[in-house]
């Protein structure tokens, strides 16, 4: 593994049919995600148990906001429908792996 290799950008196609950029996960991105969520990644798994839908929406929003600054929380929630959840889940699994 080349630790200096840069992660390739990823894209999610959401319910509106548009592609949304997903940022490379690095320390700055993770810190920004924590700031947007209002809690640390260490609390993520507990919050997923106690406030699943709210937590899932804020995590997706915080992640997408990095490359889609005009996106708002409510809009983000409406764009993540069950038919796109598999792709969203794949991206989130990386975040959870870091938080876990």
The pTM for the full model equals 0.81
Whole-number pLDDT of residue 36: 93
CA separation for the pair 27, 50 (Å, rounded) = 26
According to DSSP, the residues that pair with 66 across neighbouring strands are none
Q: Which residues contact 98 (CB under 8 A, 6 or more apart)?
A: 25, 30, 41
pLDDT in tens, 30-80: 899 899 999 998 898 899 899 999 999 999 999 999 999 999 999 999 999
pLDDT band of 10, cuts 50, 70, 90: confident
């Amino acid at each position: 593994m080349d630790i200096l290799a840069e992660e390739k950008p990823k894209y999610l196609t959401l319910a509106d049919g548009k592609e949304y950029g997903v940022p490379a996960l690095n320390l700055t991105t993770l810190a920004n995600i924590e700031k947007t969520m209002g809690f640390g990644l260490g609390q993520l798994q507990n919050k997923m148990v106690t406030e699943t839908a709210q937590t899932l929406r804020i995590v997706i929003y915080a992640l997408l906001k990095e490359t889609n600054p005009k996106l708002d929380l409510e809009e983000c929630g409406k764009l993540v429908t069950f038919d796109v959840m598999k792709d969203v889940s794949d991206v989130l699994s990386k975040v959870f792996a870091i938080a876990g």
